[in-house]
Structure 1
């Protein structure tokens, strides 16, 4: 028992280890005792939390009872599963009492509930049974909609892992919750009339949304992006392809506080970094190619650059506005950006980075919008005066 932390389960533990429980005649009385004690503990827990001024002590209080209940659930589940044990019905009553209390704590004290604690054996058993049934359904539905085999295998791997490969002692609440979320999102997605490539795009979105940041998923995306680049004949097409994928991933939604591995960077952030590096590489190759094709030096325009008073952020947003309102009608964004990087400077940047320009083009801050709006209003006022 932890020092300075009140323990509310003594009476339940006494009933659990009671030697006086024999026969079936006193089963209703025993059950009534357990139910009354469970209700008393619920009220006590609710009452006690108002006496804690320090949240750390409250967290210790809740998690201490959570851990104790998990251990008691495992003990009672093991005892009740022994068919030769005459007291098995009493242990089943105890199990349901412990389970009721743990669910109460999880529901009412979610903020302090330890998701990384080992889940009870019975809880894991039920999850495994449900997951096994859903796995067969999902496999059939994904195959019927011509989903990519590799994507299917990756997304269903977490389900198979909890069914077959992971020892129960290492399965936490968080892992069970993650598997449930994967099943829920896949079931929701497969209700839509999507097939083939359209479905595959949405399956990747599920990976981003659930932060499926496993090494295998990162490797898959590296191969996937390489295949897209191989299908692009020209360098500008490769840059445009990477830019489009960067846009999709940057705009992807991510469910808060969830992930395959919360100790590692998110899948979304790792992929954004990966594409940025690949983009910079492709753009350097493009610049080298452009320099080889430049006319001989000596032209009066050699080294000329258009100088802007605006910042890179403002310039990127102006470019976005010109493209979206069709003031600039070029179709190839990468070529437009390459032109700006080569022939434009700002008040703070003699050499604009393609990565910086692209990042600020896709991610516009509210302050940038306001400053550009003021810039355009000043131009309108100038027009009105002249």
Structure 2
């Protein structure tokens, strides 16, 4: 193994020397002879590494040997793109060396559990992955714009990929993460509904541990924005408890993270929400003279339901009109529909609770029959205003 690595090192060093010195010993005949030996060197090294992985030698020794081979191949591979060969045979030798080292690393990556994804990848691997993701950027941007997501969220995602494409240094782990993340976003755009897509995307990025600092700040700003309509301490506390519950059940993808130096999105948001809850509790305790204060829902209010003559479809469309006209400002829509399902009662539902998913479907897909019935009902309301206060003409 040492002999093969030494031969590869000699070939690369002589090739690099030739690029800076025209009197190099790397001649055309030398290039032709050595190019034939590269395949044999590669095969010997692959056989050795496979046997080493399944040998009875100490795990520490195996891991150290494979990591040394990995680092050595990366170092040699990074020297080759800067090499400028003079003749076609010497160019062919450099290409053969590059191919040999690249195949060794790819074999280690695919077939060896001791391969380290935490080391910086070689230039050729970075270029291969970034080229693929860059080619899909136009498609990804178009797909996200079709979903009409908030421009701030779109800019955060695109900026992260732009920095990824401009950087010349990435670990194997980060390359794998960004490539997989892009594919997952494209699949989400294909399968997810347009209704509340922003929040579906946020949950998706949280699941993928997209702990980019601007994204985490964006999520915190959404929590703060959701608290603004709640002027009472109790309402804010209940809303924060709702966020805490959602974060508790939020799943995360194992072994993948945008930045390994930062905590996950879920963890950072949970710390933020719990700090806000603790702040409210301390304020309440201070104002009550050190006595504990109950900040939970009362059963009577929580179980109250509003009876309506609307059908489920008409109720969903009525809420849609209120939201789109700006009369009601409720984000996310899914939370509004869940609230309506819990607190509203239609004629045919009886004592059962409305289905939030059924409301969401009818909110998105309004039939002409429902629209005409709603128009007639709104005309009745206008007529009632005229009867009470005159037409105003």
Taking structure 1 as the reference length, the TM-score comes to 0.66
Of residues 269, 279, 282, the one that matches 1:281 is 279
> How many angstroms apart in 1 are the aligned matches of 2:283 and 2:119?
50
Query: Equivalent residue of 2:302, what SS?
Result: coil
> How many angstroms apart in 1 are the aligned matches of 2:236 and 2:250?
21
Q: State the 1:284 CA deviation.
A: 5.0
Query: Equivalent residue of 1:179, what SS?
Result: helix
2:8 aligned with 1:12? yes
Alpha-carbon displacement from aligned partner over 1:15-66 (angstroms, at most 9, x marks no partner): 5548565169x85x75543222211211111112344533222221111000
Alignment match, 1:369: none
Alignment match, 1:105: 108
Query: Equivalent residue of 1:9, what SS?
Result: helix
Of residues 214, 221, 242, the one that matches 2:219 is 221
My pick for the range that moved more, 257-266 or 11-20, is 11-20
2:47 aligned with 1:49? no
> How many angstroms apart in 2 are the aligned matches of 1:7 and 1:229?
67
Equivalent runs, 1:139-178 vs 2, <5 Å: 139-164=141-166, 166=167, 168=168, 170-178=169-177
Q: CA RMSD in A?
A: 3.3
Alpha-carbon displacement from aligned partner over 1:107-135 (angstroms, at most 9, x marks no partner): 1223x222221211111112222222122
Alignment match, 1:119: 121
Structure 1's 208 and 7: CA in aligned 2 closer, same or farther, altered over 3 A?
A: farther
Taking structure 2 as the reference length, the TM-score comes to 0.65
Unaligned residue ranges in structure 1 (runs of 5+):
293-302, 306-318, 334-386
> How many angstroms apart in 2 are the aligned matches of 1:213 and 1:184?
18
Structure 1's 100 and 329: CA in aligned 2 closer, same or farther, altered over 3 A?
A: farther
Equivalent runs, 1:251-330 vs 2, <5 Å: 251-283=249-281
Alignment match, 2:69: 65
Equivalent runs, 1:333-344 vs 2, <5 Å: none
> How many angstroms apart in 2 are the aligned matches of 1:194 and 1:83?
54
Query: Equivalent residue of 1:231, what SS?
Result: coil
Contact 1:77 1:92 in 2 (8 A): no
Alignment match, 1:38: 42
Alpha-carbon displacement from aligned partner over 1:53-99 (angstroms, at most 9, x marks no partner): 332222211110001111221222332xx374441111111111111
Q: State the 1:230 CA deviation.
A: 0.7
2:337 aligned with 1:331? no
